[in-house]
Amino acid sequence: MKRLLLLLILSAYGTMAQNPNNVEMADTFRQEGKIYVVVGVIVIIFIGLFVYLISVDRKVSRLEKKMEK
């Protein structure tokens, strides 16, 4: 019980230490219009990962079919 209480206190302390109201970098990017570049790069990375996963899945499926024969 003491360990659980200590864990809860430490996790609550960690959340209080964070200050989400002061994000200067995001505000600067938003003001200069660069936030769209950041979002675009992130979207391109996720699309690339998605395409890669689909291609790997197809290759694995082909190998599984060959193994069954």
Q: Each residue of 12-56: pLDDT tens digit?
A: 766 665 556 666 777 787 888 888 898 999 999 999 999 999 999
> Does the structure show a pLDDT above 70 at 63?
yes
Q: Is 35 part of a structural domain of the chain?
A: yes
Which residue range is the domain that position 42 belongs to? 23-69
pLDDT score recorded for residue 59 = 97
Residue 4 has pLDDT above 70, yes or no: yes
Would you say residue 40 lies in a domain? yes
Answer whether 35's CB lies under 8 Å from 27's CB.
no
Can you give the pLDDT at residue 13? 65
By CB neighbour count within 10 A (0-12 exposed, 13-18 middle, 19+ buried), where does 41 fall?
exposed
What pLDDT score was predicted for residue 21? 64
Does some domain include residue 39? yes
Dihedral sign for Cα atoms in the order 29, 34, 38, 43: positive
Q: What is the pTM of this model?
A: 0.56
Number of domains in the chain: 1
In a domain, 16, yes or no: no
